[in-house]
Copies of this chain bind each other. A is one copy, B any other.
């Protein structure tokens, strides 16, 4: 008898990915699926790849519809998770794939979202020092943003070991699914294919304060982050290129040692062998982050590249990984490290 899980926002990309993983998870039983404007329609009309669930009818996203489950995954627009979570029992595990409860500092939230801060929940990145323990038994989890997942995994070992200066430049390419299923002209296939474009340039992307929060927490001092996201012609994947000045005496070996120390034994983060570099396709559909580090001696910089699937490790897989921990299941249950490639 599995843990009974509901998914709110099941017709979107994030909700669909949570369902894709739950459908193959031996520890979960899939209960109610809800949607906003798609309520009343069949899941198969929106998520035709989820064959075994195609005939399920979507309920409206209400506390009543979501009641009676052990776990509720929320994949909703910003601002909707808080009011809903309040009406779900305190003993229900609520896993929020949205941004509402990720930030600790209300001022950060207000600066970037312009609305009142909903609160702060345990942060669902088990690879951060101490975080695996913090998630055990949790009943509220804020799933990290997709970009912050990649960037934090790329950089925290360097900060944990004190190897780099607290001034970071990140340029990341994302597949279009990161923008969700929103009907905007710049997300049309005709506009996206054959083109890489920049957006949210100049420090205005809403994932920026989350990166700063994570890295500053590890560094023990304020870290400055210059973050530029770009849109690449692929559906899934994030490749984050991250660089910071190295501190005196740091070498490639120092760097690799720090990353080895951080990631040896981590089930879902792989430090690649020297000479191999991450490609997003290596992680497609997998809960894997691949990391590689170089030392540019001329420029005096560590350059770290991380690849994830934004919907898997960056959203739905990360959500299930943390839910496993919260529920006392094996952390790896229902999750694969193997990508679909080529």
Contact = CB atoms under 8 A, between A and B. Distances in A.
Interface centre among A191, A203, A284, A295 (most CB of B within 10 A): A191
Contacts of A179: 190
A279 B231 CA distance: 9
Residues of A in contact with B, size category: 35 or more
Contacts of A176: 188-190, 193
A183 B181 contact: no
Contact of A203 (B187, B190, B233, B296): B296
A197 B239 contact: yes
A120 interface: no
Contact of A277 (B20, B201, B226): B201
Contact of A338 (B49, B177, B190): B49
A44 interface: yes
A241 interface: yes
Interface string A296-332: 1111110101010000000000000000000000000
A175 interface: yes
Contact of A297 (B175, B181, B203): B203
21 contacts: A16-B342, A20-B340, A49-B281, A49-B340, A49-B341, A50-B338, A51-B338, A169-B171, A171-B171, A176-B189, A179-B190, A187-B188, A191-B235, A194-B235, A198-B239, A198-B292, A202-B296, A202-B303, A203-B296, A226-B296, A233-B234
The 7 residue pairs across chains A and B that have the minimum distance between CB atoms: A202-B294, A189-B192, A197-B279, A195-B281, A49-B339, A171-B171, A203-B296
